[in-house]
Structure formats: structure tokens, C-alpha cells
């Protein structure tokens, strides 16, 4: 397999609205991001994935784009964007843009034209269908509650919106629409960006009247066409969001011989604490053996026919310490354990803003404190369906997207140093102790474990290319694996539980420590005691 920079980089995701405000309006912005590039350089990352910064009415915080070639006024100007690309480049950091082309905003000029003039060539850029028996064309549901069809009284037709009513779906069967998307992508490539993160890309082949949304028949034809028309002859990072992917499907996207994408985000790990018969709001406890099994499957099945992405968090997911670890007394230990386990696996690691200082979920007691459209719509839908308000709020506190969207905690000054104004979403009250300034000042903080992992990746090809092998003979709560490369072998051992345990790995007895999350590790692999959430990596003798 040919080697690429995007396999060796570490990516840091910025949710611009919540990262750093520079002008006191309570909303993060591009100059704010520029002012924090030195911090990101200290962390050592090589790539930023920037959630959408394009012009948008913000029904879904920028994932509803009304102009792909302009910057959202609250975030700054195109000149700021160009400065960000240049300033990042000066620090060896590439900018990966979010590409949201399953849908636009209903305020995009294309949709406004389509709505106002049913005879316009833009009408077919979207998905329209006639009523059936005076009702919606079928039962398709929006991810943000309710029907996926919205009636347009003027034309007597419905349009499709797999997300909010203000996010009409684009019709990828229309070749002009596809060309317009490719031209827009080339506009950004010409600005010197490092690639694209492709929003819900598994939906673009949809055939809604056949009830097909994900993995439609022409999905991969479109991606091959896109690759040829845009980034195919450039070495860019392209990562597709693919909730529906399993390893076989992931190979269709990322097998280099197919000329589609670099990699996909898969979410099998993220579905494990969800009731399989329910929605994301219907919870069940995480099974650690199930989590290990998913990781092992992905680590071993892609082979040379694909490349993994590795992540615990993003702007749609809860904070990992609150979700799978301990956000109280063992927050530091559990956060470092998650970091070590993830960054030691094979694939490109992603860090979501604030993860590197162990930011936690922010609980709410009323829907008035919630901004996210998905949570708000679900609240109304479930209230109407007779759910108890307390249960709905419990689901929002566990899974709601605002958990990850509270402002970045920079220091212990008012609003955590995020803004001098009123933040658009309340700062987590724990910012007085959990913040960047405190983390930088404490050499035992979570930040320095991340910093160490990111730095190690640059000088240890074993972390990037090493063969992964799972170790079975360990207790259920322990995940242990080796990586092997060029005569070297590393052993990773992690206790995923809040209870102590022991592992017996006499074959690895002769070893030396590479990284650990408890400062006073006493190594005895023949009979190794593991404290709550303890994790370490040791160099061991390679097999013959």
C-alpha cells in the first residue's frame, strides 16, 4: 500500500462556534481559532478538521449551508479563512473542510429558486414527490424527528429532508448538481486546503421512494466520479461519515484501488450503549467485551484494503469520560486510558476539542438550557408520545449533542476565557478546575498524555504501520493487544473498568515501559495488578 501523510498525522476537530470568540459576541470565530494555533502546535497535531464555517442560517449550526463559497458572518470573512489556512500552514497544520452535500439550507439560492420557480433547472437539484392519497409519499422519517417529507402548497409536491425541514436533500441523480458540487470543491482545493470530511456521505445515493437512504446503488459511482473531478490527483485527506459502514462496506470507500476516499468514520462502537430495538436516546449499559470485539474486528479486517479512523468524540457525541469512563474521581485516569488505547491502534487518530483536557458532559435540568435542534425536536416528540419529562432529560444528558458543544474551557476567568460576552451555550460549571491553563501547568495532566502520544506517533513508525494482534487470555474488562513492526513489538494493556483486576502475561515478562497513565507503575507482567482504568504500553521481545 502506498504511504500517505494522512496516515501519519493526528487530526484535531474544531467546532468553530464553541472554540474561541475574538469579538465578544459570544460565538466562536475564525480570528479566535487563529489566536489558538500556537496551542494546537504545542499539542502537536498536524491537521484540523473544521466543522462548517460557510454562510448558514444556523438551523443546525452550520450543517445547513446557504452559500458554500462564503463565510458565516459571525465567524468572520473569506480573508480570515485564507489567513487561517496560511497561519496553520506556517505551523505545518493542514485544514480539512467539512463538506455538507447531502443537503443544503432552504435559504440556499438553489432551493429558493427551486421553490419559487417549479420550472427552473434548480428544481431537480432537490428531491420532490407527489402526495400519495393526499399524504406524504411514504413513511420515511427525519433524523431530527417527524416525517422526512415537507409539503410545498404552491406546487402541491413534497420535498425530502432527512434532517430538519430547513435542510432539503440534494438530488445526486442530477448531473448538473453533481458538477456544481465538484466546482465548489475545486474552489476550496484551490485555496490550499488539506481535504474534506464528508457529512453523512452514505446518504447521497438515496432512493427515497424505494425507502432506501444509506448505501444506495449509485453511491460509489458518485464518489468515484467526485474523486476524478476533484481531489483524485492530489494527496488530500478525505474521510466520509458513514454510520452504516461495516468493514466490508468501508473497503468499498477506502480500498486505494477503487479511487474513492482515504477512510471513513465508522460508528459501531458508538452504537453499543444504545438499545438495539430503540433510538439513540434509548440507553443500555456498555459491554466491554462487545467494545473490544468491534475494535478487534476493524483492526484486523481492513488489511491493505482500507484505513481506519480512530475517535472517541465529535460534535454529535457525548464526552467519552462521562460516557464510558468516570468523570468524577477517576476522570484523569480514565481519560488517559482512553487516549492510550485509541492512539496505539492502527489508523488515523482524531481528537475533538476539549477531549485533550478531559472535558465532561454538561447536565441540564430543563429543555430551556438546550440549543441542539435534534434534542429539542425529540423532546417535543416524546412529550407528545407520553414519555416522562425526567426520562427525556435523562436521555439528553446522556446522549444530547450539546454535551460536546459547550464552549472550550481555556482558563478559570469568567466564561472560561472563551468570550468576554455572553456565550451562545452555557459554559460547563467545572471550568474553574478543568481548563487548558491548569492542564498546561500540571505535567501529570491529561493534556500531556495526549501531547506525548501525538509526538510519539511522529517518531515511531510502529504506531502507524505496526500489525495489530489481539490478546485473548485476559479478563473481560481488559483490552490487550500488540503492534509489531520492523523487528519491534509493543504490548498495550488497558483496564476499561473502575474495578481493579490482574492479568497474567508471562510471555511478555521481559519488557520496558513506553507510556503509562499511573506514574508509579510496578511492572510484573507474569502477575500484573491493574488499578481502575490503568493502562500502559511496554516494549516486548518480538516473536521469531
Q: Is 100 in the site for ligand NOJ (CB under 6 A)?
A: yes
Choose which of 127, 200, 288, 463 interacts with ligand NOJ (CB under 6 A): 200
Please give the Cα distance from 44 to 520 (Å, whole number): 26
Minimum Å gap between C-beta 315 and ligand NOJ is 6
Please give the Cα distance from 498 to 337 (Å, whole number): 11
Q: Is 181 in the site for ligand NOJ (CB under 6 A)?
A: no
Q: What burial class does residue 348 get, using C-beta atoms within 10 Å of its C-beta: 0-12 exposed, 13-18 middle, 19+ buried?
A: buried
Mark whether 510 is an active-site residue. no
**Cα three-residue angle 420-424-429, rounded to 5 degrees:** 75
Please give the Cα distance from 420 to 247 (Å, whole number): 46
Minimum Å gap between C-beta 373 and ligand NOJ is 8
User: Catalytic: which of 59, 80, 241, 534?
Assistant: 241
Instruction: Kindly identify the residues of this chain, within the stretch 302-331, that bind ligand NOJ according to CB under 6 A.
Output: 315-316
Please give the Cα distance from 415 to 12 (Å, whole number): 23
Scan for cell 468572520, then name that residue: 76
SS3 171: coil
User: Catalytic: which of 169, 199, 326, 402?
Assistant: 199
Using an 8 Å Cβ cutoff, are 417 and 427 in contact?
A: no
Please give the Cα distance from 88 to 98 (Å, whole number): 17
Tell me whether residue 197 or residue 415 sits nearer to ligand NOJ (CB atom).
197
Choose which of 12, 15, 54, 63 interacts with ligand NOJ (CB under 6 A): 63
Report how many residues bind ligand NOJ under the rule CB under 6 A: 9
Mark whether 60 is an active-site residue. no
Q: Is 196 in the site for ligand NOJ (CB under 6 A)?
A: no
Please give the Cα distance from 488 to 464 (Å, whole number): 13
Tell me whether residue 273 or residue 316 sits nearer to ligand NOJ (CB atom).
316
Minimum Å gap between C-beta 100 and ligand NOJ is 5
Using an 8 Å Cβ cutoff, are 515 and 541 in contact?
A: no
Minimum Å gap between C-beta 112 and ligand NOJ is 19
CA atoms lying within 13 Å on the CB side of residue 213: 17
Q: Give a three-class secondary structure readout of 217-231.
A: CCHHHHHHHHHHHCC
- Residues facing 495 on adjacent strands: 478
Tell me whether residue 60 or residue 355 sits nearer to ligand NOJ (CB atom).
60
Q: Is 199 in the site for ligand NOJ (CB under 6 A)?
A: yes
Minimum Å gap between C-beta 167 and ligand NOJ is 6
Q: Is 163 in the site for ligand NOJ (CB under 6 A)?
A: yes
Tell me whether residue 27 or residue 288 sits nearer to ligand NOJ (CB atom).
27
H or E, element range at 195: strand 195-198
Task: Mark 22-61 with x for binding to ligand NOJ (rule: CB under 6 A) and - for no binding.
Answer: --------------------------------------x-
Catalytic positions, written as ranges:
199, 241
Site residues (vs ligand NOJ, CB under 6 A): 60, 63, 100, 163, 199-200, 241, 315-316
Amino acid at each position: 500500500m502506498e504511504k500517505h501523510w494522512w496516515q501519519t498525522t493526528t487530526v484535531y476537530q474544531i467546532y468553530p462556534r464553541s472554540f474561541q470568540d475574538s469579538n465578544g459576541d459570544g460565538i466562536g470565530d475564525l480570528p479566535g481559532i487563529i489566536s489558538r494555533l500556537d496551542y494546537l502546535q504545542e499539542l502537536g497535531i498536524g491537521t484540523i478538521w473544521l466543522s462548517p464555517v460557510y454562510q448558514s442560517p444556523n438551523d443546525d449550526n452550520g450543517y445547513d449551508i446557504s452559500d458554500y463559497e462564503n463565510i458565516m458572518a459571525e465567524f468572520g470573512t473569506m480573508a480570515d479563512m485564507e489567513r487561517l489556512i496560511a497561519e496553520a500552514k506556517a505551523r505545518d497544520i493542514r485544514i480539512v473542510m467539512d463538506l455538507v452535500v447531502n443537503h443544503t439550507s432552504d435559504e440556499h439560492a438553489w432551493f429558493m429558486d427551486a421553490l419559487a420557480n417549479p420550472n427552473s433547472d434548480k428544481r431537480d437539484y432537490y428531491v420532490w414527490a407527489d402526495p400519495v392519497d393526499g399524504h406524504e409519499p411514504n413513511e420515511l422519517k427525519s433524523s431530527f424527528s417527524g416525517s422526512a417529507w415537507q409539503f410545498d402548497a404552491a406546487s402541491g409536491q413534497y420535498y425530502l429532508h432527512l434532517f430538519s425541514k430547513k435542510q432539503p436533500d440534494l438530488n445526486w441523480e442530477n448531473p448538473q448538481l453533481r458538477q456544481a458540487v465538484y466546482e465548489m470543491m475545486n474552489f476550496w482545493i484551490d485555496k490550499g486546503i488539506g481535504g474534506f470530511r464528508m457529512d453523512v456521505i452514505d446518504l447521497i445515493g438515496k432512493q427515497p421512494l424505494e425507502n432506501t437512504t444509506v448505501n444506495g446503488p449509485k453511491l460509489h459511482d458518485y464518489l468515484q466520479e467526485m474523486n476524478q473531478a476533484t481531489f483524485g490527483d492530489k494527496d488530500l485527506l478525505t474521510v466520509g461519515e458513514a454510520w452504516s459502514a461495516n468493514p466490508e462496506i468501508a473497503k468499498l470507500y477506502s480500498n486505494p484501488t477503487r479511487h474513492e476516499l482515504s477512510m471513513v468514520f465508522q460508528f459501531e462502537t458508538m452504537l453499543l450503549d444504545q438499545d438495539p430495538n430503540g433510538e439513540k436516546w434509548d440507553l443500555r449499559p456498555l459491554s466491554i467485551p462487545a467494545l473490544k470485539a468491534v475494535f478487534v474486528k476493524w483492526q484486523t479486517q481492513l488489511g491493505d484494503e482500507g484505513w481506519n479512523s480512530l475517535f472517541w468524540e465529535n460534535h454529535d457525541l457525548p464526552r467519552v469520560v462521562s460516557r464510558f469512563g468516570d468523570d468524577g474521581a477517576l476522570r484523569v485516569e480514565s481519560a488517559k486510558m482512553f487516549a492510550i488505547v485509541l492512539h496505539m491502534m492502527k489508523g488515523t487518530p482524531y481528537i475533538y476539542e476539549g477531549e485533550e483536557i478531559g472535558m465532561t458532559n454538561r447536565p441540564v435540568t430543563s429543555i430551556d438550557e438546550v440549543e441542539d435542534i435534534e434534542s429539542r425536536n425529540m423532546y417535543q416528540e416524546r412529550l407528545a408520545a407520553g414519555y416522562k419529562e425526567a426520562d427525556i432529560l435523562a436521555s439528553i444528558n446522556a446522549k444530547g449533542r450539546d454535551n460536546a458543544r459547550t464552549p472550550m474551557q481555556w482558563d478559570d476567568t469568567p466564561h472560561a476565557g472563551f468570550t468576554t460576552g455572553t456565550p451562545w451555550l452555557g459554559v460547563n460549571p467545572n471550568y474553574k478546575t478543568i481548563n487548558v491553563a491548569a492542564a498546561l501547568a500540571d505535567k501529570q495532566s491529561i493534556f500531556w498524555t495526549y501531547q506525548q502520544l501525538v509526538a510519539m506517533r511522529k517518531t515511531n513508525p510502529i504506531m502507524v504501520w505496526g500489525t495489530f494482534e489481539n490478546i485473548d487470555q485476559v479478563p473481560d474488562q481488559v483490552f490487550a493487544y500488540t503492534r509489531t513492526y520492523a523487528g519491534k513489538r509493543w504490548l498495550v494493556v488497558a483496564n476499561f473498568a473502575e474495578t481493579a483486576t490482574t492479568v497474567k502475561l508471562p510471555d511478555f515478562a521481559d519488557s520496558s515501559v513506553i507510556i503509562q497513565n499511573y506514574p508509579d507503575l510496578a511492572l510484573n507482567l507474569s502477575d500484573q495488578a491493574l488499578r481502575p482504568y490503568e493502562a500502559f504500553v511496554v516494549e516486548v521481545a518480538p516473536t521469531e
